[in-house]
């Protein structure tokens, strides 16, 4: 009996090491054994849901009928991106030096517990975009320092462009009509930040749907949550109707690896898109570091760990800047002798701040080297949370990717057309089963 058991154990270990070896640490996976798919991400400008269906777009009739972008745009990513990134009717505020396309290398594997993603792309800048806006002491008060490059204050040269790099994955399991054909363009609408017909804070706060959400800006949403044919931001369905769509799986998973706000604690956030861009239950690994009452930071750097309580502009792009609770942060001391120009991050990280469904992506690590990010990501399979798309063997999913590069947010990212990913089934990208 004893020998039988140890023989079984020996076979078990042999099986474990036979295939591409892995376990909890995806960095040790033999990624060379997993095929790489290169996806061309392109700059989309203001090609919103509403523009795509307007007379300005020659493909409007097909798009309105739910048809696929790739019917007409197959292989045109470079042409689209290089045109849209410069001043043109769909880009009123071009960013100098921005690239039109980014080549994303994507690999995916899985075993019985997890899916493993690996993504690589080159950054425009010769440094990792791991800094994020700060608050700066001006001698009297702490004020935001650094903004994304589409913002007017950066375009006018009044503020530096500072914003984290990101890699995002959107997943549909067939529950969102037309996503397989039109991908993330279903979620991008007039009224949103940096898009046409921008909805002001006052307008948004006067709208019943946004009042119910307690939100003051328009972000991604799905057309199914609106009542009119044009899927207008202000024509929201009732919370009851929206809850029914969610229960019927009519939402998208949207997870973002963030170079400043999640990577330093080895995570990606976990969210979803339905009537808004929402976070999964359980929260995020990051939160505001600004006290809304005093307008002062809540935490500062731990001098013993960082060598100083605050940074200055000389430190930027030379060192990691994340402020992390229980690691390099201590409660803010208003009487610490602050000097004009002192910088403290506007966000503070806390790995334990994300729990439950919000903490599903708790083993994600990005490393920047020689001009390139490599992000390796563990996503548990078979998730059953009501805000996740559980990945399962034998199924095909529609993925859509985005990279935020060079200090940008909102639509300033590079995006992909939707692409099918299969687990043990035929698809454009077939996940490699680990033995």
Residue 57 near ligand HEC by CB under 6 A: yes
* Element containing residue 329 per DSSP (H, E): strand 329-331
Which one, 168 or 357, has the nearer CB to ligand HEC?
168
Stretch that binds ligand HEC, among 58-66, 199-207, 230-238, 253-261 (CB under 6 A): 58-66
Q: Are 2 and 60 in contact (CB under 8 A)?
A: no
**Distance, CA of 34 to CA of 105 (rounded, Å):** 12
Is 52 a residue that touches ligand HEC (CB under 6 A)?
yes
Q: Tell me the window of 69-77, 146-154, 266-274, 316-324 that interacts with ligand HEC (CB under 6 A).
A: 69-77
Residue number with CB closer to ligand HEC (45 or 271)? 45
Task: For the segment 87-116, give every residue that binds ligand HEC (CB under 6 A).
Answer: 90
Which of 76/103 has CB closer to ligand HEC?
A: 76
CA atoms within 13 A on the CB side of 431: 30
147 vs 185, beta carbon nearer ligand HEC = 185
- State residue 383 phi and psi, 5-degree precision: -65, 140
CB atoms within 10 A of CB 81: 22
Pairing label, strands 429-433, 101-110: parallel
Q: Does 122 participate in binding ligand HEC (rule CB under 6 A)?
A: no
Q: Nearer to ligand HEC by C-beta: 74 or 435?
A: 74
Is the CB of 76 or the CB of 327 nearer to ligand HEC? Answer: 76
Q: Please report the beta strands in 73-172, taking only residues with DSSP state E, as ranges in sequence order.
A: 101-110, 114-122, 134-137, 142-145, 166-172
Interacting span for ligand HEC (CB under 6 A) from 65-73, 195-203, 310-318, 328-336: 65-73
Q: Which of 22, 29, 39, 69 binds ligand HEC (CB under 6 A)?
A: 69
Distance CA 433, CA 431 (A): 6
d(CA 71, CA 399): 18
Query: What are the DSSP calls for 334-357, one per residue?
Result: TTS---TT-EEESEEE-GGG--GG
Q: Give the C-alpha separation, 185 to 40, whole Å.
A: 16
**Alpha-carbon dihedral of residues 173, 178, 181, 187, nearest 10 degrees?**
-90
- Counting contacts by CB under 6 A, is residue 67 touching ligand HEC? yes
Candidate segments 64-72, 114-122, 196-204, 385-393, binder of ligand HEC by CB under 6 A: 64-72
Q: Is 153 helix (H, G, I), strand (E, B) or coil?
A: helix
Binding mask 147-186 for ligand HEC (x = CB under 6 A): -----------------------------------x--x-
What token pair was written down for 164?
Answer: 């984290």
For ligand HEC, the binding residue among 17, 55, 58, 126 (CB under 6 A) is: 58
Q: How far is CA 187 from CA 47, 219, 222, 416, in A?
A: 11, 8, 5, 13
Length of the chain, please? 435
DSSP structure class, residue 359? G
Site string for ligand HEC, 70-89 (x = CB under 6 A): -xxx--x---x--x------
The closest residue (CB) to ligand HEC is 59
Is residue 323 within 8 Å of 250, Cβ to Cβ? no
Residue among 99 and 182 whose Cβ is closer to ligand HEC: 182
In this structure, is the dihedral angle defined by the CA atoms of residues 347, 348, 353 and 354, taken in order, positive or negative?
positive
- For position 59 contacting ligand HEC by CB under 6 A, the verdict is yes
User: Among 7-15, 29-37, 52-60, 327-335, which window interacts with ligand HEC (CB under 6 A)?
Assistant: 52-60
Q: Is 381 among the residues that bind ligand HEC (CB under 6 A)? A: no
Return the residues of window 183-222 that contact ligand HEC according to CB under 6 A.
185
Q: How many residues bind ligand HEC (CB under 6 A)?
A: 18
Least distance (Å) from ligand HEC to the CB of residue 129? 25
Question: Using CB under 6 A as the criterion, which residues of the chain lie in contact with ligand HEC when the complex forms?
Answer: 47, 52, 57-59, 62-63, 67, 69, 71-73, 76, 80, 83, 90, 182, 185
């Amino acid at each position: 009996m004893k020998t039988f058991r140890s023989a079984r154990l020996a076979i078990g270990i042999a099986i474990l090491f036979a295939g591409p070896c892995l376990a909890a640490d995806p960095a040790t996976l033999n990624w060379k054994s997993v095929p790489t798919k290169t996806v061309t991400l392109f700059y989309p400008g203001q090609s919103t849901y509403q523009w795509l269906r307007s007379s300005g777009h020659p493909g409007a009739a097909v798009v309105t009928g739910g048809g696929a972008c790739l019917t007409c745009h197959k292989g045109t990513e470079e042409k689209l991106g290089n045109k849209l990134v410069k001043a043109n009717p769909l880009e009123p505020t071009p960013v100098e030096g921005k690239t039109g396309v980014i080549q994303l290398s994507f690999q995916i594997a899985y075993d019985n517990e997890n899916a493993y993603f690996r993504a690589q792309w080159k950054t425009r800048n010769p440094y990792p975009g791991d800094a994020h806006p700060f608050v700066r002491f001006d001698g009297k008060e702490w004020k935001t320092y650094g903004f994304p490059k589409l913002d007017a204050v950066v375009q006018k040269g009044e503020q530096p462009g500072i914003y984290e790099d990101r890699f995002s994955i959107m997943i549909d399991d067939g529950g969102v009509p037309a996503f397989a054909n039109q991908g993330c363009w279903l979620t991008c609408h007039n009224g949103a930040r940096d898009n046409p017909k921008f909805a002001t804070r006052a307008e948004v706060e006067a709208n019943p749907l946004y009042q119910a959400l307690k939100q003051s800006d328009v972000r991604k949403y799905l057309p199914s949550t609106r009542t009119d044919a044009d899927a207008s931001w202000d024509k929201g369905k009732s919370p009851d109707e929206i809850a029914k769509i969610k229960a019927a799986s009519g939402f998208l998973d949207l997870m973002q690896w963030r170079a400043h706000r999640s990577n330093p604690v080895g995570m990606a956030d976990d969210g979803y898109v339905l009537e808004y861009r929402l976070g999964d239950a359980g929260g995020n690994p990051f939160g505001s570091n600004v006290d809304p009452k005093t307008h002062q930071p809540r935490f500062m750097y731990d001098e013993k760990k960082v060598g100083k309580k605050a940074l200055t502009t000389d430190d930027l792009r030379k060192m990691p800047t994340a402020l992390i609770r229980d690691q390099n942060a201590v409660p803010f001391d208003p009487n610490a002798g602050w000097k004009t120009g002192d910088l403290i991050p506007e966000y503070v990280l806390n790995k334990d701040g994300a729990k439950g469904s919000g903490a599903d992506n708790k083993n994600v690590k990005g490393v920047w080297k020689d001009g390139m990010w490599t992000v390796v990501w563990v996503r548990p399979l078979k998730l059953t949370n009501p805000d996740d798309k559980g990945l399962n063997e034998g199924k095909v999913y529609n993925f859509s990717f985005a990279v935020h590069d060079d200090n940008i947010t909102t639509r300033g990212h590079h995006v992909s057309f939707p692409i099918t990913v299969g687990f043990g089934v035929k698809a454009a990208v077939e996940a490699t089963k680990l033995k």
